[in-house]
Amino acid sequence: MYFHNFEEFIEMGGHGFYVWLAYAVVLFALVAYFVYSNRSAKSYQKNLVKFYKRMDSRNQHKTDLEQQSVEEN
């Protein structure tokens, strides 16, 4: 341990502003992108649920129409 107390740790020998700013920027960016990339996979899955429902109902509609036209002829 290279610091004797908590104030010294925060001050970083007078360079606290630079050191903590750099660490804050990095931590923020890494955490933000971690959350974003994790969420995008999840939100894709949610959207796909709706996408497949839509596809299914459209296909169903199509076969219904085909059957109708077959019956009419």
Partner 1 sequence: MWTWFYQLASPKWFYQFANKWLPWLRAATLILFLAGLALGLLFSPVDYQQGNTVRIMYIHVPAAFLSMFTYVLMAISGAIGYIWRIKMAHIVSVSCAPVGAIFTLLALVTGGIWGKPTWGTYWEWDARMTSELILLFLYLGFMALHNAFDERKTADRAAAILALVGLVNIPIIHFSVEWWNSLHQGATISKFEKPSMDTDMLKALLTMIVAFQFYFVTVLLQKVKAEILDREKLSGWVKKLVVKQGEGVQ
Rounded to 10 degrees, the C-alpha dihedral 59/63/64/70 comes to: 160
Other CB atoms within a 10 A radius of the CB of residue 20 amount to: 13
Q: Does 46 bind partner 1 (CB under 8 A)?
A: yes
Q: Does 57 bind partner 1 (CB under 8 A)?
A: no
Q: Quick one: which of 4, 5, 7, 45 contacts partner 1 (CB under 8 A)?
A: 45
Question: From CA 61, how far away is CA 73, in angstroms rounded?
Answer: 19
Binding residues for partner 1, rule: CB under 8 A, are 1-3, 9, 12-16, 18-19, 21-23, 25-26, 29-30, 33-34, 37-38, 40-42, 44-46, 48-49, 51-52
